[in-house]
Amino acid sequence: MAATATGKSLHIYSSQESLSFNPIRKIKTNHLKFTKTLFSPNSRCHRLAIRASTNSPTTLNDSPALSNPDHQLRVQILSESLPYIQKFRGKTIVVKYGGAAMKSAELKASVVRDLVLLSCVGLRPVLVHGGGPEINVLLNQLNIPSQFRDGLRVTDARTMEAVSMVLVGKVNKDLVSRINFAGATAVGLSGMDGRLLTARPSPNAAQLGFVGEVARVDPTVLQTLVDIGHIPVISSVAADEFGQQYNINADTVAGEVAAALGAEKLILLTDVAGILRNREDPGSLVKEIDIKGVKKMIEDGKVAGGMIPKVNCCIRSLAQGVRTASIIDGRVEHSLLHEIMTDEGAGTMITG
C-alpha cells in the first residue's frame, strides 16, 4: 500500500480491489468525497482518493489542532517522556501514600491519575498507604484519646480495632475504588492477606502497645498481581504468627515490600519538599545524595525528627537491593510524574 498527498486530496493505493464511494454527508460547506480509480488489468494497484473540499482555502498549517500552542506543548511533553518510559517500563515502583496527599481531594485525585498513567505506559506500581487523619476522626467519634510516643501511635486493643477498621475497611477500599474508576485494576490487601506480611511486636511494646515491625514478607501474592498488570494497594496492618494484629508504620511496610519485590524505586510521599541542608531554608533542598552522605547529615543533626525514620527506611531498602529511594513533596500535584518522568525530580533521591 502507498499514499500520496496533492492539494486537498489524500490518495491511498491498495492492491487487488478498488472501492467506490459517493458523498454521503455534508456539514455546512465542507465535503468529504471518496472515489476510486481503476487501473488497467495489468496493473496491480487501485487507488482510493479521499478529497476534502471547502469554500475557503485552507492549508495543513491552518489546522487549529496543529497551531494551538497548548496542543503543541502536550505533544512535546509526551515526546520528551519517551526515554523515561523506556527506562522504567516493566520495572516495579513502590509508592508510600500518606500525609497531605490523603487530606486534599485534588491531591488524592492527582496521585490516583499518576498511578494509573504509570501503569498504562508499562510501569508496575504498588501502593502502600497509612491513614492517620482518618484514624483520628474515628477515634474522636468513639471518644478514644489519641496518644503518640516518638511519632508512633500508642495502640491499645480498642485503638487497634479502630485502626484496622479505618485502614483495611475504609481507606484501602476507597483507594481501590478510585483507581478502578480511573481505568486501572486495583486489588486491596492488608498484611494478613496471602500471608503478605508477618508482624512482630515493637521493642517498645510495653509503651506502644500493638505497634509492630515487619518480621517477614512473602511477596507471592503481590508478584502474581503485578505480573498480570494489576495495582496492589496495601494497608499497613499485619498479624504475628499467633494472629494478633499490629499497627505498622506505612513507611516501614513500603520499604520492606520494595526490597522483597526487588523494586527499581521506592517513593515516599511526605509533607515536606525533601531533605533540606538547612531545615529553616526551603531553598536548601538536597536533590540527590548517597547513603554515606545522608548518614553524615543525620550525625550532624541536619536530618532530625520525623525525617529520621523515613531516611532509615530508605537506607534499609537500598541495602536490600532497591535501586533508588526518593522522599518527595506530596503537597505538589503530580509529584509522582515529576519524580519519575523528569531529571529534576520532586524531592530528594537517595542512591546506594
Active site positions, annotated: 96, 99, 132, 251, 310
How far, in Å, CA of 68 to CA of 62, rounded? 10
Q: What is the DSSP annotation of 70-108?
A: HHHHHHHHHHHTHHHHHHHTT-EEEEEE-THHHH-HHHH
Give 145: exposed, middle or buried? Use CB within 10 Å, 0-12, 13-18, 19+: exposed
How far, in Å, CA of 216 to CA of 194, rounded? 13
26 bridge partner residues: 31
The separation between CA 221 and the C-alpha centre of its own chain, rounded to angstroms, equals: 20
> Residues 352, 291: contact at Cβ < 8 Å?
yes
Q: How many CA atoms lie within 13 A of 108 on its CB side?
A: 15
> Residues 186, 179: contact at Cβ < 8 Å?
yes
> Residues 127, 173: contact at Cβ < 8 Å?
no
Q: Which amino acid is at 158?
A: R
How far, in Å, CA of 35 to CA of 261, rounded? 58
- CA-only gyration radius of the chain, Å: 27
How far, in Å, CA of 117 to CA of 123, rounded? 9
